[in-house]
């Protein structure tokens, strides 16, 4: 309730016209209950704008009512009250043009919900639970249930909440601007979860008006529809206490971590039902036993944030707080995560703070200005992707993104965030020619604001959720990506080893007869393997856009293709670093990944494909079982070459050590189709060495050439070691031994 300065109780005609015309910037100055200055006795007035109404009455708590006077043809109503009436509380009784009747609470009689501290911390960029304030929140205010809306649009002339509840009429529920914060707020009684809404923003830019989805919206309509949906983000009851209690141990850097990268929309579909998506529940039903069978420790989801274009795979998001409605509701996605946790499987999601699409209903040109993005296209646009770049130098934008990251960890119990396109964030000249970028304040090419943002992101994640992992998809030689910020690093836990992926694929795609000339390409990764905490990826990017599937990349005939792929995976899973495979690679998909259809699950009807899947499961089980294959992935003490110089035979051999140096595994890889009998390698100790892996086993589809369970070490020094093994090395195979 506010005081009006004029004794005249009726609103000024210009103010009424502004309300009726939808361009008044502060509706609470006019609408609702106001006290009129009067020397004799207190006077009050209630004003309402109800363009759908033929008549409006003010109804008091005890049931009495007084009719309001219609003072503008568009539906502006006013009535004068005495002090007793004003203090008794009121509702509005509406009679529509069609003579239907209903009552409602007046949205303009409620005080603000956000506190001054919220506004201050938002402007400072330090409010790290802003998702509990911004957006749409069902709540009870003064005993009345409804929804409180809050949105940041500092350059708007007027912001309104629109939806089915007001016939999408932006004049009906204009919001209150909170001082100089740029935040607009409104509590609307009677709204509830499931209601559709948007923000109608009238800008100061030549009268430009636009409808926007809620940047903090928790749920959204299925594309191509674009409304946000009111959702109670706190209603779901979690059942993953055991997982959350064990997560710290399961996600230590010396724990086994093997990730199954997954696109929810194309892992499996229902071709018999119009090729529809599986729901979150159906995905859990199918995915959980599959991951348990193949023994992956984690699943990584391509972005689940709401996005308009299927072909972006989720990497062009408009809903940074909303799981995509393609597969169900927010609570159904929570249940999906919950069930994975109960099955002992961690959940990593791809998160994209580098850029966002230009779709009109999204973040672009949000309030008539470049609010979230840079205005200069040399700083604000990714020309390759047709997207906008976030303005990392703006406090409120940093806060928005940081809140998004923390939100997924808080509300959805996500175990890891893989940050996409980090390289594009680090460099101002990323994919730009001379003259197409703006140097930093020191004249350099480093994006200092983005660097500061990434460091702050990692610090906040690890401060609030120390058992959560962060991953960087970063392809350059930037130093210290996975080193702590207090040592000058970016603070990520793990970095994708894009160099290893590229070099290894270049090598393995060559005909075996030519590999001897490219031996250094294979061994080069160990020169820098311990400069970062690396995860070894064969990701979705390697099986699209004409690159071919992993199996089709392999040279040779049908048998050799499978043998090469088994050998490659054997090398990968015994190489230092955590592991990641994209879906379909575990059973030998022939076709490139197509986001519009299922994986070719029918291939599992064929022995070689089902055997390959079984082999990958055994690799995962081996890595889990053997401390030497997971405990010391990021330090040189965990790895030792036996021989990296046998390029003539295209053979490499090495040792992997656990924390306990007496616990080690011997690995030998033969990258030719030539079996080698009596191949000698040096080992540190005498004794019997059991063969714990042979990718040429008949169980995996191989020729079943091997070492009959193991070999006895000879007291014959070799390659600088006291003992040696004389082994049978199968063709195109990886074998591993343990003392």
Per-position DSSP letters for 658-710, written without gaps between them: -SSTT-EEEEEEE-SS--EEEEEEEESS-SEEEEEEETT-GGGTS---S-TTE
Torsions phi, psi for 353 (to 5 deg): -90, 5
Query: What pLDDT score does 37 carry?
Result: 75
Rounded to an integer, what distance in angstroms lies between the CA atom of residue 403 and that of residue 397?
A: 10
Query: What pLDDT score does 574 carry?
Result: 98
Which residues are identified as catalytic? 420, 473
CB 510, CB 489: distance < 8 Å: no
Q: What is the mean pLDDT of residues 222-238?
A: 97
How many degrees, rounded to 5, is the angle at CA 452 between CA 152 and CA 117?
Answer: 40
pLDDT tens track for 401-431:
999 999 999 999 999 999 999 999 999 999 9
Q: What is the mean pLDDT of residues 603-622?
A: 98
CB 281, CB 614: distance < 8 Å: no
The SS3 assignment for 109 reads helix
Q: What is the mean pLDDT of residues 365-389?
A: 92
Structure tokens belonging to residue 65: 């009512």
pTM above 0.75, yes or no: yes
Cβ count within 10 A of residue 347: 21
- Mean pLDDT check: name the lowest of 174-178, 224-228, 314-318, 429-433: 429-433
- Nearest CA to 24 out of 160, 161, 211 is that of 160
pLDDT tens track for 450-462:
999 999 999 999 9
| H or E, element range at 657 | strand 651-657
- Mean pLDDT check: name the lowest of 134-138, 383-387, 672-676: 383-387
Structure tokens belonging to residue 396: 């409120």
CB 375, CB 367: distance < 8 Å: no
SS (H, E, C) 65-88: EEECEEEECCCEEEEEECHHHHCC
| H or E, element range at 338 | helix 330-342
Per-position DSSP letters for 519-534, written without gaps between them: HHHHHTHHHHTTSS-E
- Nearest CA to 460 out of 414, 407, 413, 418 is that of 407
Torsion of CA 9, 14, 19, 22, to 10 degrees: 180
CB 68, CB 56: distance < 8 Å: yes
Query: What pLDDT score does 671 carry?
Result: 98
| Residue 3 pLDDT > 80 | no
- Nearest CA to 465 out of 419, 416, 420 is that of 416
SS (H, E, C) 119-169: HHHHHHCCCCCHHHCCEEEEEEECCEEEEEEEEECCCEEEEEEECHHHCCC
- Nearest CA to 469 out of 461, 478, 480, 457 is that of 461
What's the mean per-residue pLDDT of the chain?
95
Query: What pLDDT score does 334 carry?
Result: 98
Identify any residues that bridge with 145 across adjacent strands, giving them in sequence order.
140
Rounded to an integer, what distance in angstroms lies between the CA atom of residue 201 and that of residue 597?
A: 38
- Domains annotated on the chain, with CATH: 2-107 (2.60.40.10), 116-229 (2.60.40.10), 629-738 (2.60.40.1180)
| H or E, element range at 656 | strand 651-657
| Residue 316 pLDDT > 50 | yes
CB 260, CB 299: distance < 8 Å: yes
Contacts of 128-133 with C-beta under 8 Å, sequence gap 24+, read 128/399, 128/402, 128/403, 128/406, 128/460, 128/464, 129/403, 129/406, 129/410, 130/216, 130/399, 130/400, 130/403, 131/216, 131/233, 131/321, 131/403, 131/404, 131/406, 131/407, 131/410, 131/411
Structure tokens belonging to residue 28: 């609470």
pLDDT tens track for 283-300:
999 999 999 999 999 999
| Residue 6 pLDDT > 50 | no
pLDDT tens track for 614-634:
999 999 999 999 999 999 999
Q: What is the mean pLDDT of residues 178-191?
A: 96
Rounded to an integer, what distance in angstroms lies between the CA atom of residue 647 and that of residue 515?
A: 8
The SS3 assignment for 234 reads coil
| Residue 61 pLDDT > 90 | no
- Nearest CA to 294 out of 584, 563, 523, 674 is that of 584
Identify any residues that bridge with 136 across adjacent strands, giving them in sequence order.
149
Cβ count within 10 A of residue 458: 23
CB 250, CB 346: distance < 8 Å: yes
């Amino acid at each position: 309730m506010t005081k009006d300065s004029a004794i005249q109780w009726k609103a000024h005609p210009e103010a009424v016209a502004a309300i009726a015309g939808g361009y008044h910037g502060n509706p609470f100055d006019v609408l609702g209950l106001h006290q009129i200055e009067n020397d004799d006795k207190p006077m009050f007035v209630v004003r309402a704008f109800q363009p759908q109404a033929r008549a409006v009455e003010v109804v008091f708590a005890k049931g009495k009512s007084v009719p309001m006077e219609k003072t503008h043809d568009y539906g502006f109503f006013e009535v004068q009250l005495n002090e007793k009436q004003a203090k008794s509380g009121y509702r509005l009784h509406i009679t529509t043009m069609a003579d239907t009747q209903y009552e409602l609470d007046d949205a303009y009689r409620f005080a603000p919900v956000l506190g001054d501290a919220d506004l201050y911390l938002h402007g400072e960029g330090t409010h790290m639970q802003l998702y509990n304030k911004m957006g749409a929140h069902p709540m009870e205010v003064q005993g009345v249930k409804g929804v409180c809306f809050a949105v940041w649009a500092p350059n708007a002339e007027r912001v309104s909440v629109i939806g089915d509840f007001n016939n999408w009429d932006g004049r009906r529920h204009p919001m209150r601007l909170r001082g100089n914060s740029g935040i607009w707020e409104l509590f609307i009684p009677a709204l509830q979860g499931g209601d559709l809404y948007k923000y109608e923003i009238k800008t100061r830019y030549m009268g430009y008006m636009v409808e926007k989805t809620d940047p903090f919206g928790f749920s959204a309509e299925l594309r191509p529809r674009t409304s946000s949906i009111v959702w109670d983000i706190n209603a779901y009851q979690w059942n993953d206490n055991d997982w959350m209690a064990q997560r710290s141990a399961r996600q230590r850097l010396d724990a086994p971590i093997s990730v199954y990268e997954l696109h929810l929309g194309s892992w499996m579909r229902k071709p018999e039902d119009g090729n529809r998506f599986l729901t979150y529940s159906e995905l859990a039903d199918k995915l959980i036993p599959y991951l348990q069978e193949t023994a992956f420790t984690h699943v990584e989801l391509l972005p689940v944030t709401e996005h308009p274009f299927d072909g972006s795979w989720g990497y062009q998001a408009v809903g940074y707080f909303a799981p995509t409605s393609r597969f169900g509701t927010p609570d159904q996605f929570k249940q999906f995560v919950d069930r994975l946790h109960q099955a002992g499987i961690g959940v990593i999601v791809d998160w994209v703070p580098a850029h966002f699409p230009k779709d009109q209903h999204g973040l672009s040109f949000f309030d008539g200005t470049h609010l979230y993005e840079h205005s200069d296209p040399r700083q604000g646009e990714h020309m390759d992707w047709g997207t906008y770049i976030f303005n990392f130098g703006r406090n409120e934008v940093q806060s928005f993104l940081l809140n998004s990251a923390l939100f997924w960890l808080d509300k959805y119990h996500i175990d890891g965030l893989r940050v996409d396109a980090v390289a594009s964030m680090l460099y101002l000249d990323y994919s730009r020619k001379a003259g197409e970028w703006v140097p930093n304040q020191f004249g350099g090419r480093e994006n200092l604001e983005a660097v500061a943002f990434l460091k702050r992101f990692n610090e906040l994640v690890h401060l609030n959720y120390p058992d959560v992992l962060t991953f960087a998809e970063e392809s350059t030689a930037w130093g210290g990506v996975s080193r702590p910020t207090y040592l000058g690093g970016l603070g990520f836990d793990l970095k994708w080893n894009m160099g290893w992926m590229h070099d290894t694929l270049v090598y393995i795609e060559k005909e075996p007869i030519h590999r001897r000339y490219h031996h250094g390409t294979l061994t080069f990764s160990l020169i820098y393997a311990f400069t970062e905490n690396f995860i070894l990826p064969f990701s979705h990017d390697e099986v699209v856009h004409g690159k071919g599937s992993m199996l089709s990349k392999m040279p040779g005939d049908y048998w050799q293709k499978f043998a090469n792929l088994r050998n490659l995976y054997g090398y990968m899973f015994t190489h230092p670093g955590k592991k990641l495979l994209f879906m379909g690679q575990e059973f030998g998909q022939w076709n490139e990944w197509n986001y519009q259809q299922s994986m070719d699950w029918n291939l599992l009807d064929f022995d070689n494909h089902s055997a390959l899947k079984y082999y990958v499961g055994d690799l995962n089980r081996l890595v889990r079982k053997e401390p030497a294959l997971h405990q010391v992935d990021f330090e040189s003490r965990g790895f030792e070459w036996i021989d990296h110089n046998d390029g003539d035979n295209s053979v490499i051999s090495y040792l992997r050590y656990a924390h306990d140096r007496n616990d080690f595994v011997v690995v030998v890889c033969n990258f030719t189709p030539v079996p080698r009998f009596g191949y000698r390698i040096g080992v540190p100790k005498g004794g019997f060495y059991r063969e714990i892996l042979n990718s040429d086993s008949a169980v995996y589809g191989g020729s079943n050439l091997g070492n009959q369970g193991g070999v006895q070490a000879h007291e014959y020094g070799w390659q600088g070691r006291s003992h040696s093994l004389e082994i049978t090395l199968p063709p195109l195979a990886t074998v591993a031994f343990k003392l």
